A and B are shown apart, each in its own frame.
Chain A
Amino acid sequence: MRVPILKQGDYLIASIQSALTDADLVQLRDDLAEMAGRYRARGIIIDVTALDVMDSFAVRTLRAITHILRMRGARTVIVGIQPEVAFAMVQLGLTLGDTMTALDLEEGLALLNRRREPR
């Protein structure tokens, strides 16, 4: 199931609607990489509110997305990690590394706005 990606100014917002298969995650990665390049996006928000599980593959893929988009000049913010998911992640020992996180879309946008970088 393809994740809808919306453009808001020079930001992209990917809103995950339901559990994603590994293939869906890889598709998301490729879609974001392509769109970030096409629209010269400066910031990407990935909303994971609907994910009830974030395992090692999901985390790895999100970190890869951050890395790829960074190379295209965009910063990534993951928003909407749910309490139980956050707790399970830390117990599993998963970290998002340098990837920024925020509570929700509003906070995510505020974070990107604060961190606007000159090109």
Chain B
Amino acid sequence: MNETRVPIHSDADIIAARHLGRKLAEQVGFSGSELTVIATAISEIARNIVEYARSGEVVLRPMNQGSRRGILVVAKDRGPGIADVELAMQDGYSTSKGIGLGLPGARRLMDEFDIDSKVGKGTTITMKKWIA
């Protein structure tokens, strides 16, 4: 199992990213509803790239930490960046077209969640989920 990089340029790529994410999660050993949870979280952050940065990539990687196994998902873009990350992470916050950032939701679904964003430079979102 290796790292998989999925370029995100259009909404069709969102589907590819979550499909591959589900497959990798299955290989890592996740099962049942956790697969859907992971795929959904990937969908949210991949869409975030399409909506705000227009292009970027999603990186999927299995994690091995001693006896713990999990999946690492990173969404990277060189878009406009998020000016106020805290505000963006509040539920119900929305900017363009009444479409809210799905980030607070993605955070709820995953075990670890981190946003690194600089205005004018881009955004990197790192999410992790471990097998319980």
Contact = CB atoms under 8 A, between A and B. Distances in A.
Direct contact, A vs B (beta carbon within 8 Å): yes
Interface of A: 19, 21-23, 52-57, 60, 83-85, 87-89, 91-94
B83 to A, nearest CB: 21
Nearest to A22: B11
6 nearest A-B residue pairs (beta carbon): A84-B36, A22-B11, A55-B43, A92-B105, A84-B33, A56-B102
Contact of B109 (A21, A23, A88): A88
Interface in B84-132: 91, 99-100, 102, 104-106, 108-109
B14 interface: yes
B14 A22 contact: yes
13 contacts: A53-B36, A53-B40, A55-B44, A55-B47, A55-B102, A56-B100, A56-B102, A57-B47, A84-B35, A84-B36, A91-B109, A92-B40, A93-B104
B1 interface: no
B105 to A, nearest CB: 4
Nearest to B35: A84
Nearest to A18: B15
A97 to B, nearest CB: 14
Contacts of A19: 15, 19
Given A55-B47, A92-B108, A93-B108, A21 B36 contact: no
B47 A93 contact: no
B12 A21 contact: yes
A76 B22 CA distance: 30
Contacts of A57: 43, 47, 99, 102
Given A23-B11, A88-B33, A92-B108, A53 B39 contact: yes
B76 interface: no
Contact of A88 (B12, B15, B36): B36
Contacts of B104: 93
A91 B37 contact: yes
Of listed A21, A23, A56, A89, residue having the most chain B CB within 10 A: A56
Contacts of A55: 40, 43-44, 47, 102, 105
